[in-house]
Structure 1
Amino acid sequence: MDLTHYRTFGRSGLRISPMTLGAMTFGLDWEYGASPEDSKAILAKYMEMGGNSVDTANIYTKGHSEKIIGDHLKENNIRRDSMVIATKFFGNMYPGDPNGGGTSRKTMIESLENSLRRLQTDFVDLYWVHAYDEFTPIEETMSALHDMVTAGKVRYIAISDTPAWKISQAQMIAQFRGWSSFIGLQTEYSLLERTSEGELIPMAKEMGLGVMPWSPLKQGILTGKYTRENKGEKLSERYENPEFSEGTYDVIDRLIKLAKEKGVTPTEIALAWVLSRPGVVSTLMGVRTMQHLTNNLKAMEVELSKADMASLNEVSDPPLNFPVPFLRSARNVAHAGANINGWPSIVPPILPKDQKEVY
């Protein structure tokens, strides 16, 4: 697999690369990231290799990330329609302005117009609700998004970091009213963050949303750089090496062991695992250097066997909230211990085999 193995995103005809270039650190405005020149070089290399999906947001490096992307497309006379440019709204760019952030119609319209100006384009391909806004009725948000789509300024809409129940409500309202509905979900997802498997990812599959994980390396913890042996040491100018739980070190140990067996890096194994998960369409990569980009893309060449996946799943198996554990057991009762759709038998049937109905 490579970047040209395009996949349709959610319940749509939009085709994107299996790895999406995350531009959160394009620009040095947060005093950490890649310079505009390095950012453009990374973007050029990604596109040269066939990548077509770039993800940013209005607040990333104070808006500079969007401008760098727009500058690169203009300076190199790149055909706009050849790229899938995604940006997000929600974050407040104007401290003190109560309408500067959130998902109200007023905020959304201003955010979109400013993003279009910085990106130097007439439309965005994918417009993301960046996070859940509990103060705005979801009908208002969905109505405004639909208006943006019908106006031609947005091609598709998607949602990030929002409870499954609220996304389900939004999808049903949109469908019943004939409005545009979400085609994608962004959620944190990695070997160290699998709780979205409880409700968010099953909801996404049922509702026709393609899953695009963020932080698949858990802020670099899954690169293999942090181990039991070097805990407490300062491994970079920016970060101290914290002490993690035994469970985290168990996952790191398994990654390092499997990487050595296959002659690859822990980074490649961790990303390959995410790419192989049900519902995942494209995985975000946050890169600051050309080396980061090269290392991340190698994950597409890694093949994990069923035994490899089982080994990684076992060591990273997450505790999930009610009712998931209960329903797994209840499923066994309903189907008399059968292995249904890959769910293992957890408890024996409540009724013995010779039990008969009383009435």
Structure 2
Amino acid sequence: MRIPLTGTDLTVHPLCLGGNVFGWSADEEESFAVLDAYAAAGGNFVDTADSYFWRKPGNSGGESEAIIGNWLAARGNRDDIVLATKVGSWPERPGLTRANITAAVEDSLRRLRTDYIDLYYAHRDDPDTPLEETLTAFDALVKAGKVRHIAASNYEPDRLAEAMRVSAEHGLARFAVLQPHYNLMERDYERDFAPLVAEHGMSCLPYYALASGFLTGKYAADTRVDSVRAEAVAAYFTDRGRRVLTELTAVADRHSARPATVALAWLAAQPTVSTPIASARTPTQLTDLLAMPALTLDPTDLTRLTTASTP
């Protein structure tokens, strides 16, 4: 199954596989198993970043890109995969100056073992660098064939709007995709970005689509889970969070589905959302994620979940 990625000429699987766990909670062998399972199920859209995952003791950054590059080389399937990576938040290559972008893309191409990147993100805004400089650097990469499309993540709405204006005014490549923090527990996107994304014909690819695993239903307030993400979900154990889990479970039971599948289906059904991003440490975890495209939530399901999760 493929869907058009609005704002681009790319066609992608309805679930984008997040590579943030590769080289962090999944080693190369485990990452290969997940990537193989995703590709075998028809998946073709993989998201990573040059900064993944430098914070892990013993890592220096670029580990996820290197693992994905090794997998692409081993499987010989580069032309079958839509590949997204990012620049700007790794301490070794910080910011969005022209010099840094120009150097960082060569590093990423080398680690990914490819000569082009399908979707290249500004990982976070760099307020100290003029937008025109950043966008001119990205534009040069597009014209050189090293990048097919550019995208933005972790921008404020006014800065994103300004970036779109600068691109239009100077005839530069424009951000085609926005990757925001958006899920049933994090809904500021609807107010802050959705109108802007719709206005400019962009795609929305939400990250942390499962709220760091909270929306899988595997966490309980009084149960310790052996996961590097366990601490990240603690803030969601509020009355609202419990209400969301209750409705999520009820809708899942109605469809004989898993909570993670339902949470992703809700997100995919939201206006302007093209493809949720979710990651898996094991092929078993991937099963629930890959079930999302086949699950259609009816208006009652969507209303129940939207109402329960409204702050």
- Paired residue type of 1:305: D
Matched, 1:152 2:145: yes
**Residue 236 of structure 1 aligns with which residue?**
226
Residues 260 and 181 of structure 1, relative CA distance in 2, 3 Å threshold = same
The answer (yes or no) to whether the contact 1:168–1:207 under 8 Å persists in 2 is no
**Residue 353 of structure 1 aligns with which residue?**
none
**Residue 21 of structure 2 aligns with which residue?**
25
Deviation at 1:311, TM superposition (A): 1.0
- Paired residue type of 1:60: Y
The answer (yes or no) to whether the contact 1:158–1:185 under 8 Å persists in 2 is yes
Matched, 1:41 2:41: no
Classify the secondary structure of the residue corresponding to 1:67: helix
- Paired residue type of 2:261: E
The answer (yes or no) to whether the contact 1:9–1:183 under 8 Å persists in 2 is no
Classify the secondary structure of the residue corresponding to 1:54: strand
**Residue 65 of structure 1 aligns with which residue?**
64
Residues 220 and 74 of structure 1, relative CA distance in 2, 3 Å threshold = same
- Paired residue type of 1:77: G
Matched, 1:289 2:290: no
The answer (yes or no) to whether the contact 1:211–1:280 under 8 Å persists in 2 is yes
Classify the secondary structure of the residue corresponding to 2:270: coil
- Paired residue type of 2:87: F
Instruction: Give the structure with higher Rg (CA).
Output: 1
Structure 1, gaps ≥5 residues long: 95-99, 319-359
After superposing on structure 2, the runs of 4+ consecutive aligned residues of structure 1 that deviate more than 4 Å are: none
Q: TM-score, normalised by structure 1?
A: 0.81
**Residue 107 of structure 1 aligns with which residue?**
100
**Deviation per residue, 1:117-167 (Å, 9 max, x gap):** 101111111100001111111111011100111111111100011011111
Classify the secondary structure of the residue corresponding to 1:191: coil
**Residue 326 of structure 1 aligns with which residue?**
none
Choose the corresponding residue for 1:225, options 215, 218, 226.
218
Aligned identity (percent) is 35
Classify the secondary structure of the residue corresponding to 1:21: strand
Deviation at 1:237, TM superposition (A): 5.5
Matched, 1:50 2:66: no
Supply the distance in 2 between the matched residues of 1:24 and 1:44 (Cα, whole angstroms).
16
Classify the secondary structure of the residue corresponding to 2:173: coil
Supply the distance in 2 between the matched residues of 1:63 and 1:135 (Cα, whole angstroms).
24
**Residue 87 of structure 2 aligns with which residue?**
89
Supply the distance in 2 between the matched residues of 1:188 and 1:54 (Cα, whole angstroms).
17
**Residue 202 of structure 2 aligns with which residue?**
209
- Paired residue type of 1:122: D
Listed as ranges, the matches of 1:156-171 within 5 Å are: 156-171=149-164
Deviation at 1:81, TM superposition (A): 2.4
**Residue 260 of structure 1 aligns with which residue?**
253
Residues 152 and 237 of structure 1, relative CA distance in 2, 3 Å threshold = closer
Matched, 1:272 2:272: no
Considering fraction of residues, name the structure with more helix: 2
Deviation at 1:210, TM superposition (A): 0.3
Classify the secondary structure of the residue corresponding to 1:40: helix
The answer (yes or no) to whether the contact 1:59–1:91 under 8 Å persists in 2 is yes
Q: TM-score, normalised by structure 2?
A: 0.93
Supply the distance in 1 between the matched residues of 2:90 and 2:255 (Cα, whole angstroms).
45
Deviation at 1:226, TM superposition (A): 3.0
Choose the corresponding residue for 2:184, options 180, 188, 191.
191
CA RMSD of aligned residues (A): 1.5
User: More deviation in 58-67 or 241-250?
Assistant: 241-250
Supply the distance in 1 between the matched residues of 2:250 and 2:74 (Cα, whole angstroms).
45
Deviation at 1:315, TM superposition (A): 1.1
- Paired residue type of 2:11: R
Matched positions, count = 301
| Larger RCO (CA within 8 A; separation ≥ 6) | 2
**Deviation per residue, 1:74-124 (Å, 9 max, x gap):** 12222x222211110012343xxxxx3011111111111100110111111
The answer (yes or no) to whether the contact 1:27–1:34 under 8 Å persists in 2 is yes
The answer (yes or no) to whether the contact 2:33–2:282 under 8 Å persists in 1 is no
Deviation at 1:277, TM superposition (A): 0.8
Supply the distance in 1 between the matched residues of 2:242 and 2:266 (Cα, whole angstroms).
17
Matched, 1:9 2:22: no
Supply the distance in 2 between the matched residues of 1:74 and 1:12 (Cα, whole angstroms).
26
**Residue 300 of structure 1 aligns with which residue?**
293
Matched, 1:130 2:127: no
Structure 2, gaps ≥5 residues long: 54-60
Deviation at 1:235, TM superposition (A): 2.5
Residues 113 and 255 of structure 1, relative CA distance in 2, 3 Å threshold = same
- Paired residue type of 2:224: K
